[in-house]
Structure 1
Amino acid sequence: MSTERVKAGIIMGSKSDLHIMQDAADIFKEFGVEFEMTVVSAHRTPERMFEYAKNAASRGLKVIIAGAGGAAHLPGMVASITTLPVIGVPVKSSNSIDGWDSILSILQMPNGIPVATVALNAAKNAGLLAVQILATADDSLGLKMQAYKDELRKKVEESAAELEG
């Protein structure tokens, strides 16, 4: 994959988060968004995290999705280093307190370091939000997003017609 075409990054604190974060990758594939995906741990590889965040924009990234469980510092630490939008995905990990530790770690960022936060394990929504962010500068992505939302509306209308009909 040519890094010149990569628009989005998906990072996670551990490979064990892949089963959740794959949903964001699947959305990018569906919308034709070039992306990269890797493991970057805020706690175990802080230098790798710093380099990733510091160089993301110069490598062509426009948005970063960061998933993490437990203390979940990855999204906030990345957001503190880059000027790119960061979308945090709280992941319910094996050592989690029902995911609340991850949710609050990502959600409760101090003023000046925003992280958009989606629901627990909601990497699909993170992917969709990233596509919407990218669509502000890409009309073709905007049209694809409109078609996606039209399809959602159509499915609800069909369900309603079945129940009412």
Structure 2
Amino acid sequence: MDKPKIAVLLGSDSDLPVARDALATLDEFHVPFDVRIFSAHRSPDDTVTYVKKATSSGVLLFIAAAGGAAHLAGVIAAHTTLPVIGIPIQTKSLRGVDSLYSTVQMPPGVPVATVGINAAKNAGLLAIQILAVGDARLTKQLKTYKTQLAKGVRKKNTALERLGWKKYDI
């Protein structure tokens, strides 16, 4: 097994169903990753210990998924110089707006790149784009991926033009 290039940290096991989209995307692009559960509030020492160990062992970036107070990405960013991507998780009480604000509103000097609420696939793709800066294989895979996205849109447009908006079924 290859050494992980990305560490994906979940604030709780309840964040895994959303995070699976990021994990599947990393897997699809054959990017080795490590997945762990650490809480910024309930296990802060373990979180910091892991971040420092991962940083020194060759991980190139972190993805953090957390809901509610969602301080996990910020805690990671405070303890590494590597890029951190935050995935705000939707909550029942505020539908994820609390998570979004907690993840995106970082103080100067401690940046966290933040994707949309529950947008784990975009977190995975952003991580891959960052790694692709120095990886020709990933760059080629991303170009192929985007070509396939465009083909899908063209196919839908052709069907809409052929059927008309009244008969086009999503």
TM range (shorter): over 0.9
Match of 1:61 in 2: 59
Counterparts of 1:83-122 in structure 2, within 5 Å, are: 83-94=81-92, 96-122=93-119
Which stretch of the first structure deviates more once superposed, 14-23 or 52-61? 52-61
Query: Which structure has the larger Rg over C-alpha atoms?
Result: 2
Match of 2:68 among 70, 81, 84: 70
SS in 1 for 2:64: strand
Q: In the alignment, is residue 163 of structure 1 matched against residue 160 of structure 2? A: yes
* Regions of 4+ moved over 4 Å: none
Q: Name the residue aligned to 1:154.
A: 151
Do the aligned partners of 1:64 and 1:85 also contact (CA within 8 Å) in 2?
A: yes
Q: Deviations over 1:111-132 (max 9, x none)?
A: 1111000000111110000000
2-side partners of 1:88 and 1:153: how far apart? 27
Q: Are 1:132 and 2:129 an aligned pair? A: yes
Deviations 1:24-57 (A, max 9, x none): 1100110000000010100000011111122222
> 2:100 is matched by which residue type in structure 1?
I
The CA RMSD over aligned residues, in Å, is 1.0
2:32 aligned partner, one-letter code: E
Q: Which runs of 5+ in 1 are unaligned?
A: none
1:56–1:82 contact (8 Å) kept in structure 2: no
Q: Percent identity over the alignment?
A: 49
Q: Which residue of 1 aligns with 2:28?
A: 30
Would the aligned equivalents of 1:91 and 1:102 in 2 still touch at CA under 8 Å? yes
Whole-angstrom CA distance in 2 between matches of 1:6 and 1:54 = 14
Which residue identity is paired with 1:50? V
* Alignment partners' CA distance in 2, 1:78 and 1:93: 21
> Any gaps of 5 or more consecutive residues in structure 2?
163-170
CA shift for structure 1 position 63: 1.0
Q: Retained in 2: the 8 A contact 1:12–1:68? A: yes
- CA distance in 2 between counterparts of 1:106 and 1:16 reads 17
State how far apart, in whole Å, the 2-side matches of 1:45 and 1:57 are.
Answer: 18
| 2:123 paired with 1:123 | no
2:75 and 2:142 map into 1 onto residues whose CA distance is 30
